[in-house]
């Protein structure tokens, strides 16, 4: 019982970190910039396809494709931000929904056109397959890697946004555009960079996730509900909140499936509804 | 609008039928003559329009954004479908039954809904919708699970009009129900109750101060919207004799939201226009390009946001406004 | 808004007018598939095979030219599928309906097939009852009981396994597969030591695999839908180091499809699955089929492709037999009892149930020349759908 508890905690935490990596980009674009970015999954999907293509066609090692996925998603997002998204920053939320859903539709069809509808196989390098057992708990290497990456990403983000000059500028630009402009902050640039950061993180999350959850053109839709759950439960504008939410959701989901499998499909939604009824602004939300 | 000194005069002026509206409703009869082979599509457009209209009541007029509205659609569909299996295939009473069940559940959940706003509200409606979906999947003894409900048998309408392959009965029936629901909606939003809903949408804190209880109003309109969505669901079950989990799915909730925003939320005709444009476009694009039609639909949505913000009707209203001003 | 409506209407009217008039010299076939969305790949495989068949056999049968009309259901959408079928019948005047990847859609189309008396070929959807919905339906894929009940019996009798733990996806097909396997297994003297149903939307299988591993059964039986899930389950099996030498893993063929094997790597070695087709099936006809399919589409065909291929074969041969008569009664009469050699082996249409009769293959993942392949090592010939055999009694 105790060893199974250890295993459940570890697997659940790792699953939570997978959810965190998939959704952290959204807590930047939606959480910080207040932009309802339903196209988040599309950037994740792009990251996934970049990784698969570089590995399969060009023989890149898996780890080297991760920064490439980040850069590709960030670069595309800058183009889209300048072309489309920035026009609707001040438009209503509903227009943002329609715009970004439109982008998702286009990305799904484009992915099917370019890469085909086939499920993309993802072969992890040998050092990531398998596991070791310690104190009766099964530690899978790839899950450890996910946990480590999630911790690093969290630290970098929190530090970067809280402690650097650029972070302060971004926060100022988001809180009060006009005032920030008056202080000589280049608001357009700050927004573009923040958006690129969020999308790049989506791309990174996508390329890390595909080894666990697979990749096909449906990816852009498939995990939308999950990432929205993580961000809303964590609270907008809070990286730490997303981290905590993902941990709670991951562990409760895996524990539920292990101990009460009949509840398996209900659990994540029950937890979400419960948390939001208790704290409508999310675990760490300020508004 | 400047002459809105007396609110009743303002409401009366708003409630007057515009000639464009009359032309519009007359033109819904055109499919019978112009393209009788498209009546099944027309029928499903009318049902989707009714569903979108019900969402508009809460989203467009009360500011309640829901990502789980399919729950009521599905409840209506399953109620009609399940009852029809037990020798009760009379369509009109099934419609009432579907409306009742959806309305009851709507009323029960409205006590939760009325307490939340913004993202929490969206996610709670989404969560409740998904929970109902999973429950329906689990209760396969009742719902038929993922294969869909089997044995749905609907009697002819008024025991005379068969639901034919061409969809003549289906379209006539759906159109009449849509029109009646539209009249009710129109009446509601042009009533003082409708006006105070819009007030709540703009500022839920201040409205109680002038004597409009926000939460009670929201509960009321949410229940009405659930009833209408239930009717739409029962209609799709009756006209197609199929009921499946898809009626409860997130996809359906998201689709109807997109349709309403596309047409223009809070504009009475937004849901109807959105349903016509979206479904005709989808039918044509997917007919030409069954694998990649999503691209063209996506492009359509992006173009609408770029050139007609606030939906098609919102954008058009702005155009005519500025055109009028210029010609003056 | 009237302007918009008129614009939309006139667009529709223009397209309606453009639809070609019904002519004596053509036979129209309406293909209803999930060309887009979550189940787009099965539809792509099937459609490829349809095109390949037409390419190899010409588009003229019994002196008439075939014309195909493709309709997308975009996933599970019975009201839409039914409407598309109705429109194909009343607007496009099709003679034959085919395709149908997904069960709920196939069931909805059944009503139209029966009412309009249209010959309908189910090229994939695998729930047993589908063909009972219309007397004009025939199936060229498989049924879940046909594979899994046979597999259950085989596991107890031939593999000598006495105790099995079952894991299935918690939805209709999962329940059917679970029921069929357990029935076959128990009737042959086996014992089910436990079972679990897993959510359909399930990105992480670690909890379920861990549970199964903790119980440590003699064997595990798995059913999950194809697509993203086999890879995810494979990943969980691989990292938990489930040793197929100690705990046998049984499953329906989705579990070890090409992409899933690649993701799992060597962890897939030794997994035993039941299926009706694999591109590694050894026969001259199949080698030729695989080669042609690869030349055209640069990938291997799978069960959806072979379902589409045999569906086309059935359509061609019935039309030849009726000399181009497309009457539903004539076509279904011609289809009943038809036998032919398919890339998967000998198959026929059961004259009583209009369902497929075929060989069920038991395969194991092995390394052949450095490649992980499904290698057939046992088979059960001439299997009918056991579900409908019981229904008759």
Alpha helices in chain B (DSSP H): 7-15, 19-27, 30-34, 39-62, 70-85, 91-113, 118-138, 140-143, 168-189, 192-202, 214-240, 250-263, 270-288, 293-307, 311-327
- Pairwise CB contact (< 8 Å): B131 & A269: yes
Residue A78 Cα distances to A71, A81, A189, angstroms = 11, 5, 10
Q: Does B35 touch chain C if contact means CB atoms closer than 8 Å?
A: yes
- Pairwise CB contact (< 8 Å): C36 & B287: no
The boundaries of the domain holding residue A16 are: 2-217
Residue B307's SS3 state is helix
- Pairwise CB contact (< 8 Å): C16 & B287: no
The arithmetic mean of pLDDT across residues B250-276, rounded, is: 92
Reference B281, options C32, C17, A108, C11; nearest CA is C11
Beta-strand pair C119-122/C96-99? parallel
User: For residues C170 and A267, what is the distance between their CA atoms, to the nearest angstrom?
Assistant: 14
Q: Does B319 touch chain C if contact means CB atoms closer than 8 Å?
A: no
pLDDT reported for residue B80:
93
CATH number for the domain running over C24-142+284-354? 3.40.50.2300
- Pairwise CB contact (< 8 Å): A269 & B254: no
Whether residue A242 is contained in a domain is answered as no
Which residue ranges make up each domain of chain B? 7-327
Given this chain, do its domains C24-142+284-354 and C145-275+360-392 carry the same CATH topology? yes
Greater confidence (C123 vs B155) lies with C123
The arithmetic mean of pLDDT across residues B181-186, rounded, is: 92
Give chain A as a DSSP string.
-HHHHHHHHHHHHHHHHHHHHHHHHHHHHTTTT----TTHHHHHHHHHHHHHHHHHHH---HHHHHHHHHHHHHHHHHHHHHHTGGGGSSS-HHHHHHHHHHHHHHHHHHHHHHH-SSPPP----GGGSSEEEETTEEEEHHHHHHHHHHHHHHHHHHHHHHHSHHHHHHHHHHH-HHHHHHTT--HHHHHHHHHHHHHHHHHHHHHHHHHHH---TTHHHHTHHHHHHHHHHH-TT-HHHHHHHHHHHHHHHHHHHHH-GGGTTTHHHHHHHHHHHH-TT-TT---
Q: How many CB atoms lie within 10 A of CB C290?
A: 18
From the list C40, C199, C207, the residue facing A265 with the nearest CB is C199
Query: B53 Cβ partners below 8 Å, 6+ apart?
Result: B178, B181, B182, B185, B228, B271, B272
Structure tokens at C52: 């390949």
Residue B20 Cα distances to B23, B313, C4, C285, angstroms = 5, 13, 12, 66
Whether residue A157 is contained in a domain is answered as yes
Q: Does B211 touch chain C if contact means CB atoms closer than 8 Å?
A: no
Q: Does C146 touch chain B if contact means CB atoms closer than 8 Å?
A: no
Q: Is the pLDDT of residue A2 over 60?
A: no
User: For residues A138 and A10, what is the distance between their CA atoms, to the nearest angstrom?
Assistant: 8
Reference B271, options B195, B186, B168, B204; nearest CA is B186
From the list A108, A119, A138, the residue facing C228 with the nearest CB is A119
Q: Is the pLDDT of residue A93 over 90?
A: no
Residue C176 Cα distances to A32, C162, C180, C197, angstroms = 47, 21, 6, 12
Q: Does A223 touch chain C if contact means CB atoms closer than 8 Å?
A: yes
- Pairwise CB contact (< 8 Å): C263 & A4: no
Query: Residue A3: which pLDDT band, with cuts at 50, 70 and 90?
Result: low
- Pairwise CB contact (< 8 Å): C6 & B27: yes
> Number of residue pairs across A and C with CB atoms under 8 Å?
131
pLDDT reported for residue C24:
61
Whether residue A137 is contained in a domain is answered as yes
Whether residue A269 is contained in a domain is answered as no
What percentage of chain C has pLDDT greater than the value 70? 93
Q: Does C15 touch chain B if contact means CB atoms closer than 8 Å?
A: yes
pLDDT in tens, A172-229: 887 787 888 888 888 888 888 888 999 999 999 999 998 888 888 988 888 899 999 9
What are the beta bridge partners of residue C251? C222, C273
pLDDT in tens, A111-140: 999 998 888 888 888 788 777 778 777 788
pLDDT in tens, A133-173: 787 777 888 889 999 999 999 999 988 888 888 888 888 88
How far apart are the CA of B155 and the nearest CA of chain A, in angstroms? 37
pLDDT reported for residue A85:
85
User: B86 near B142, Cβ under 8 Å?
Assistant: no
The predicted complex's ipTM stands at 0.89
How far apart are the CA of A3 and the nearest CA of chain B, in angstroms? 31
Whether residue A27 is contained in a domain is answered as yes
From the list A101, A232, A269, the residue facing B120 with the nearest CB is A232
Across all residues in chain C, what is the average pLDDT?
86
The arithmetic mean of pLDDT across residues B64-77, rounded, is: 93
Contact list, C17 vs chain B (CB under 8 Å): none
Question: Which chain C residue's Cα is nearest to B264?
Answer: C1
Q: Is the pLDDT of residue C157 over 50?
A: yes
Q: How many domains does chain A have?
A: 1
Q: Is the pLDDT of residue A75 over 90?
A: yes
pLDDT in tens, C242-267: 777 788 889 998 888 888 888 888 88
Q: Does C294 touch chain A if contact means CB atoms closer than 8 Å?
A: no
Q: Does B327 touch chain C if contact means CB atoms closer than 8 Å?
A: no
Among B242, B254, B314, the strongest candidate for a mutation testing the C interface, having the largest count of C CBs within 10 A, is B242
Selected residues 229-268 of chain B with any CB under 8 Å from a CB in chain A: 250, 254, 257-258, 261-262, 265
Query: Residue A84: which pLDDT band, with cuts at 50, 70 and 90?
Result: confident
Whether residue A228 is contained in a domain is answered as no
The arithmetic mean of pLDDT across residues B142-164, rounded, is: 82
Give B57-98 as a DSSP string.
HHHHHH----S-THHHHHHHHHHHHHHHHTT---HHHHHHHH
Whether residue A250 is contained in a domain is answered as no
pLDDT reported for residue A142:
87
- Pairwise CB contact (< 8 Å): C36 & B292: yes
For chain C, helix (H) and strand (E) counts, in that order, are 13, 15
Which residue ranges make up each domain of chain C? 24-142+284-354, 145-275+360-392
- Pairwise CB contact (< 8 Å): C263 & A265: no
Question: Which chain C residue's Cα is nearest to B28?
Answer: C5
pLDDT reported for residue C22:
41
Q: Does C111 touch chain B if contact means CB atoms closer than 8 Å?
A: yes
Which pTM value belongs to this model? Answer: 0.89
Q: Is the pLDDT of residue B161 over 70?
A: yes
Query: C119 Cβ partners below 8 Å, 6+ apart?
Result: C95, C96, C97, C113, C136, C138, C315, C318, C326, C328, C331, C332, C335
Which among A1-15, A215-229, C198-212 has the top mean pLDDT?
A: A215-229
The arithmetic mean of pLDDT across residues C180-202, rounded, is: 88
- Pairwise CB contact (< 8 Å): C211 & A226: no
Whether residue A47 is contained in a domain is answered as yes
What are the beta bridge partners of residue C346? C341
pLDDT in tens, C122-153: 999 988 889 888 999 999 999 999 999 999 99
The CATH T-level fold of domain C145-275+360-392 is Rossmann fold (3.40.50)
From the list A102, A112, A276, the residue facing B120 with the nearest CB is A276
Q: How many CB atoms lie within 10 A of CB B153?
A: 11
How far apart are the CA of A195 and the nearest CA of chain C, in angstroms? 27
Which among B308-317, C204-213, C273-282 has the top mean pLDDT?
A: C273-282
Q: Is the pLDDT of residue C351 over 70?
A: yes
pLDDT reported for residue A287:
52
Q: Does A262 touch chain C if contact means CB atoms closer than 8 Å?
A: yes
Q: Is the pLDDT of residue A286 over 70?
A: no
Reference A146, options A52, A232, A241, A243; nearest CA is A243
């Amino acid at each position: 019982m105790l060893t199974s508890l250890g295993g459940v905690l570890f697997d659940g935490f790792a699953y939570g970190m997978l959810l965190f990596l998939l959704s952290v980009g959204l807590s930047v674009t939606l959480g910080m910039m207040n932009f309802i970015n339903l196209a988040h999954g599309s950037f994740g999907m792009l990251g996934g396809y970049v990784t698969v293509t570089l590995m399969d066609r060009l023989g890149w090692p898996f780890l080297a494709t991760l920064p490439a996925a980040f850069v590709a998603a960030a670069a595309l997002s800058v183009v889209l931000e300048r072309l489309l998204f920035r026009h609707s920053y001040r438009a209503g939320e509903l227009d943002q929904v329609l715009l970004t859903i439109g982008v998702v539709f286009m990305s799904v069809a484009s992915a099917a056109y370019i890469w085909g509808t086939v499920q993309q196989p993802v072969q992890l390098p040998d050092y990531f397959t398998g596991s070791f057992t310690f104190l009766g708990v099964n530690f899978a290497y790839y899950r450890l890697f996910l946990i480590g990456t999630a911790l690093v990403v969290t630290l970098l983000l929190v530090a970067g946004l809280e402690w650097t000059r650029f972070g302060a500028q971004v926060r100022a630009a988001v809180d009060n555009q006009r005032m920030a402009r008056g202080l000589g902050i280049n608001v357009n640039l700050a927004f573009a960079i923040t958006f690129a950061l969020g999308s790049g993180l989506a791309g990174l999350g996508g390329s890390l996730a595909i080894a666990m959850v697979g990749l096909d053109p449906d990816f852009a839709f498939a995990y939308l509900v999950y990432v929205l759950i993580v961000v809303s439960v964590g609270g907008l504008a809070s990286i730490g909140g997303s981290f905590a939410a993902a941990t709670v959701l991951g562990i409760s989901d895996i524990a539920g499936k292990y101990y009460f499998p009949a509840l398996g499909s209900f659990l994540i939604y029950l937890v979400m509804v419960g948390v939001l009824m208790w704290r409508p602004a999310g675990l760490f939300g300020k508004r | 609008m400047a002459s809105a000194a007396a609110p009743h005069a303002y409401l009366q002026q708003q409630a007057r039928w515009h000639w464009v509206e009359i032309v519009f409703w007359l033109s819904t009869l055109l499919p019978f003559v112009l393209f009788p082979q498209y009546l099944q599509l027309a029928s499903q457009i009318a049902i989707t329009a009714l569903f979108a209209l019900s969402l508009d009541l809460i989203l467009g007029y009360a500011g309640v954004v829901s990502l789980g509205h399919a729950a009521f659609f599905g409840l209506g569909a399953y109620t009609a479908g399940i009852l029809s299996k037990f020798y009760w295939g009379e369509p009109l009473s099934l419609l009432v039954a579907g409306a009742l069940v959806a309305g009851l559940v709507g009323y029960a959940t409205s006590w939760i809904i009325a307490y939340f706003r913004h993202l929490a509200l969206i996610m709670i409606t989404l969560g409740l919708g998904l929970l109902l979906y999973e429950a329906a999947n689990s209760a396969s003894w009742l719902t038929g699970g993922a294969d869909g409900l089997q044995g749905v048998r609907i009697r002819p309408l008024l025991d005379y009009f068969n639901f034919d392959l061409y969809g003549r009965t289906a379209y006539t029936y759906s159109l009449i129900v849509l029109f009646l629901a539209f009249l009710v909606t129109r009446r509601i939003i042009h009533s003082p109750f409708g006006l105070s809903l819009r007030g709540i949408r703009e500022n839920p804190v201040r409205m109680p101060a002038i004597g409009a209880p926000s939460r009670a109003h929201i509960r009321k309109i949410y229940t009405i919207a659930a009833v209408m969505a239930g009717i739409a669901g029962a209609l799709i079950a009756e006209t197609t004799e199929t009921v499946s989990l898809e009626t409860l799915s997130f996809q359906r909730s998201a689709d109807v939201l997109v349709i309403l925003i596309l047409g223009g939320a809070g504009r009475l005709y937004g849901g109807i226009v959105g349903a016509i444009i979206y479904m005709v476009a989808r039918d044509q694009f997917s007919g030409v390009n069954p694998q990649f039609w999503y691209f063209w639909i996506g492009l359509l949505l992006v173009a609408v946001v770029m050139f007609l913000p606030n939906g098609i009707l919102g954008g058009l209203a702005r155009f005519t406004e500025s055109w009028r001003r210029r010609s003056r | 808004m009237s302007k918009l409506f008129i614009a939309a209407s006139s667009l529709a009217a223009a397209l309606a007018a453009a639809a070609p008039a019904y002519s004596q010299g053509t036979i129209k076939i309406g293909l209803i598939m999930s060309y887009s969305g979550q189940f787009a790949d099965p539809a792509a495989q099937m459609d490829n095979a349809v095109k390949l068949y037409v390419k190899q056999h010409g588009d003229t049968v019994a002196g008439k030219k075939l014309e195909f009309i493709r309709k997308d259901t975009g996933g599970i959408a019975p009201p839409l599928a039914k409407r598309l079928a109705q429109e194909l019948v009343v607007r496009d005047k099709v003679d034959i309906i085919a395709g149908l990847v997904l069960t709920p859609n196939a069931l909805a189309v059944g009503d139209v097939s029966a009412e309009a008396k249209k010959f309908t070929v189910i090229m994939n959807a695998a729930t047993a009852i589908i063909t009972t919905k219309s007397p004009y339906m025939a199936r060229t894929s498989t049924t879940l009981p046909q594979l899994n009940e046979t597999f259950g019996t085989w596991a107890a009798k031939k593999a000598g396994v006495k105790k099995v733990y079952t894991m299935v996806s918690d939805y209709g097909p999962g329940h059917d597969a679970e029921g069929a396997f357990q029935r076959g297994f128990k009737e042959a003297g086996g014992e089910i030591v436990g079972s679990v149903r897993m959510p359909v939307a399930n990105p992480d299988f670690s909890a379920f695999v861990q549970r199964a591993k903790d119980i440590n059964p003699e064997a595990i039986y798995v059913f999950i839908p194809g697509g993203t899930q086999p890879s995810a389950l494979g990943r969980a099996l691989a990292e938990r180091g489930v040793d197929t030498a100690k705990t046998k893993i049984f499953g329906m063929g989705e579990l070890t499809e090409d992409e899933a094997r690649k993701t799992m790597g060597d962890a897939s070695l030794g997994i035993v699955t039941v299926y009706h087709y694999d591109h590694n099936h050894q026969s001259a006809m199949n080698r030729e089929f695989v080669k042609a399919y690869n030349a055209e589409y640069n990938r291997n065909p799978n069960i959806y492709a072979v379902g589409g291929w045999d569906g086309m074969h059935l359509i061609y041969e019935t039309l030849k037999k009726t000399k181009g008569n497309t009457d539903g009664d004539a076509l279904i009469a011609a289809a009943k009892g038809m036998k032919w050699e398919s890339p998967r082996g000998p198959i026929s249409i059961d004259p009583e149930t209009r369902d497929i009769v075929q060989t069920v293959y038991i395969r194991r993942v092995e390394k052949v020349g450095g490649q992980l392949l499904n290698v057939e090592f046992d088979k059960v010939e001439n299997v009918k759908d056991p579900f409908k055999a019981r229904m008759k009694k």
